[in-house]
C-alpha cells in the first residue's frame, strides 16, 4: 500500500434542524463577534434566521455579510474581509451554497492571518492562522464544508483557487431542513456535481489517491444515486434530502484527499465564460470525458468506472466484463442526468460552436486538475470532447 495523508473537517454534525443549535455546537469556539457570510437569496427566504437567532440568544454579536454572488469575485472576497475587520470578528460562519462557503474560508484566513491573497493562491501556500470557522451548506453538491479549497473568480473570467488544509473549517453542520427549498434544477445539478466528485476521486491519478477516499466515494455514490431522483421530484422528502447532503459531504471528503480531474477542468471554462452553474457545467461534459478516459485501455479507468456501476445504481446489472460495465455505467449517468431534467448539450445552454476553441485553450490552464486525470488531455483532446458535448 502506498503512503498517503488524509485531512478533513474536525467536527461534522448531521441532524435536521441543527443550524438552529449552532451556539451550543460551536459558540464557544466562535467567540464574541461573529461574521455571518451568506447571500441575499437566503436572507430573503429567511433560511439563516434560526442560526442567527441561536447565536444572538447566546450573547454573540452577529454581523451579516450577504453580498456573495454565484462565482464570487475577488472584490466580494475583499469586501467580506473588510466586514470581518470592521466588526472585529472573532469567528466566521457561512450558511449557503459553495460560493458563500468559499468566501468564508478565505475571509477567515485573510482576516485571521493578515496575509496577502496573492501569496495564498495555489496549493499549500496559505499560511494561517485563520479565524474559527463553521460552515453550513444549503446545497448538496460542492462538499466545500470538507474541502481545503476555495475558488474565486478573478478579472471577470479566470477561476483561481487556494488549496490548503489551513482553510478546512473547524465544524461542518449538515442540516437537511435547509435544503428542502432548493429548486429542482439546482438539486439536480448540484447532485450530479457531487456524483462527479465521487467518480473523479475514485479514479484520480493523483499520488494521494487512497483507500479512505475510495471507500468514501463508493458510499457517497450509493447515497447520491439512490436518492437524487427522489430529492428532485419530491423536494420536501427529508430522508432523500438528508441522504443527498451526507452523500455530498462524503464525496467532498473523498476528493479533498484524492483530487478531481478533467471533468472539472473542462467544466470551469463553461462556468467562467457563460456563467453556467458549476454542477450543470460538470453534467454537460461528464459522459464525454468518461468515454474519452475509458477509450484508452492502458490507463485502466474503465475498470474503475465499471466498479462504480453497482454502487451508483442499485439495479445495475454488472457482469458483462469491465468494458461493457464501464459503458453501461456511463450510459446510466447520462440517462440519469436527462431524467432529472438537466440540459444535455452545450448548445442547449446557449454556447455557440465558435466558442469551443477558446474554451479548450482555457481548460488547459486547469493544470492542477488535469494532472489528476487518468488519461493525458491536450488542447486538441479538450476541443474534441467539447465538440462531442456540443
In whole angstroms, the minimum distance from the beta carbon of 111 to Zn ion comes to 26
In whole angstroms, the minimum distance from the beta carbon of 285 to Zn ion comes to 12
Sheet holding 61-65, edge to edge: 11-14, 171-174, 133-137, 91-96, 33-37, 61-65
Cell of 355: 466558442
Looking at the Cβ atoms of 260 and 327, the one nearer to Zn ion is: 260
In whole angstroms, the minimum distance from the beta carbon of 263 to Zn ion comes to 8
Looking at the Cβ atoms of 127 and 159, the one nearer to Zn ion is: 159
Q: What are phi and psi of 133, to 5 degrees?
A: -140, 125
Residues in the interface with Zn ion (CB under 5 A) total 1
In whole angstroms, the minimum distance from the beta carbon of 305 to Zn ion comes to 18
Stretch that binds Zn ion, among 99-107, 166-174, 187-195, 348-356 (CB under 5 A): 187-195
The residue at minimum Cβ distance from Zn ion is 193
In whole angstroms, the minimum distance from the beta carbon of 39 to Zn ion comes to 18
Looking at the Cβ atoms of 98 and 374, the one nearer to Zn ion is: 98
Bridge partners, residue 158, by sequence = 154
The whole-angstrom separation of Cα 358 and Cα 205 is 26
The whole-angstrom separation of Cα 245 and Cα 145 is 11
Stretch that binds Zn ion, among 53-61, 191-199, 211-219, 287-295 (CB under 5 A): 191-199
Of 145, 175, 177, 193, the residue at the interface with Zn ion (CB under 5 A) is 193
In whole angstroms, the minimum distance from the beta carbon of 281 to Zn ion comes to 9
The whole-angstrom separation of Cα 134 and Cα 141 is 18
Looking at the Cβ atoms of 169 and 271, the one nearer to Zn ion is: 271
What's the number of CA atoms in the CB half-sphere (13 Å) around residue 64? 18
Q: Determine, following the binding rule CB under 5 A, whether residue 145 of this chain makes contact with Zn ion.
A: no
User: One symbol per residue from 235 to 274: x for binding Zn ion (CB under 5 A), - otherwise; what is it?
Assistant: ----------------------------------------
214: left (phi over 0), alpha (psi -120 to 50) or beta: alpha
Q: What are phi and psi of 83, to 5 degrees?
A: -65, -40
Stretch that binds Zn ion, among 55-63, 71-79, 188-196, 243-251 (CB under 5 A): 188-196
Looking at the Cβ atoms of 112 and 141, the one nearer to Zn ion is: 141
Chain residues binding Zn ion by CB under 5 A are 193
Amino acid at each position: 500500500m502506498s503512503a498517503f495523508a488524509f485531512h478533513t473537517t474536525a467536527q461534522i454534525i448531521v441532524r435536521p434542524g441543527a443550524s438552529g443549535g449552532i451556539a451550543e455546537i460551536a459558540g464557544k469556539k466562535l467567540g464574541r463577534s461573529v461574521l455571518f457570510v451568506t447571500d441575499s437569496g437566503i436572507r430573503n427566504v429567511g433560511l439563516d434566521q434560526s442560526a442567527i437567532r441561536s447565536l444572538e440568544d447566546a450573547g454573540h454579536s452577529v454581523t451579516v455579510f450577504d453580498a456573495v454572488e454565484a462565482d464570487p469575485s475577488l472584490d466580494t472576497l475583499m469586501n467580506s474581509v473588510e466586514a470581518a475587520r470592521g466588526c472585529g470578528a472573532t469567528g466566521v460562519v457561512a450558511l449557503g451554497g459553495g460560493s458563500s462557503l468559499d468566501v468564508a474560508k478565505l475571509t477567515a484566513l485573510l482576516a485571521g492571518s493578515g496575509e496577502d491573497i496573492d501569496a495564498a493562491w495555489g496549493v499549500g501556500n496559505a499560511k494561517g492562522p485563520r479565524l474559527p470557522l463553521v460552515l453550513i451548506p444549503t446545497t448538496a453538491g460542492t462538499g466545500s464544508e470538507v474541502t481545503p479549497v476555495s475558488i474565486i473568480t478573478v478579472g471577470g473570467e479566470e477561476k483561481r483557487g487556494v488549496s490548503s488544509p489551513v482553510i478546512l473549517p473547524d465544524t461542518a453542520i449538515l442540516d437537511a431542513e435547509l435544503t428542502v427549498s432548493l429548486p429542482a434544477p439546482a438539486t439536480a445539478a448540484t447532485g450530479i456535481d457531487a456524483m462527479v466528485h465521487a467518480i473523479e476521486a475514485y479514479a484520480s491519478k493523483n499520488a494521494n489517491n487512497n483507500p479512505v477516499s475510495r471507500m468514501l466515494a463508493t458510499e457517497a455514490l450509493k447515497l447520491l444515486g439512490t436518492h437524487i431522483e427522489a430529492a428532485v421530484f419530491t423536494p420536501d422528502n427529508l430522508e432523500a434530502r438528508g441522504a443527498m447532503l451526507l452523500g455530498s459531504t462524503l464525496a467532498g471528503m473523498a476528493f479533498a484527499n484524492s483530487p478531481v480531474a478533467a471533468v472539472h477542468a473542462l467544466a470551469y471554462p463553461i462556468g467562467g465564460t457563460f456563467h453556467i452553474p458549476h454542477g450543470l457545467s460538470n453534467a454537460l461534459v461528464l459522459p464525454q470525458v468518461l468515454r474519452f478516459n475509458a477509450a484508452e485501455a492502458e490507463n485502466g479507468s474503465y475498470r474503475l468506472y465499471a466498479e462504480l456501476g453497482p454502487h451508483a445504481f442499485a439495479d445495475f446489472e454488472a457482469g458483462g466484463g469491465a468494458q461493457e460495465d464501464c459503458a453501461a455505467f456511463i450510459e446510466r449517468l447520462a440517462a440519469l442526468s436527462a431524467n432529472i431534467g438537466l440540459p444535455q448539450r452545450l448548445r442547449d445552454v446557449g454556447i455557440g460552436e465558435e466558442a469551443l476553441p477558446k474554451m479548450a485553450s482555457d481548460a488547459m490552464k486547469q493544470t492542477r486538475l488535469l494532472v489528476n486525470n487518468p488519461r493525458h488531455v491536450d488542447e486538441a483532446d479538450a476541443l474534441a470532447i467539447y465538440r462531442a458535448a456540443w
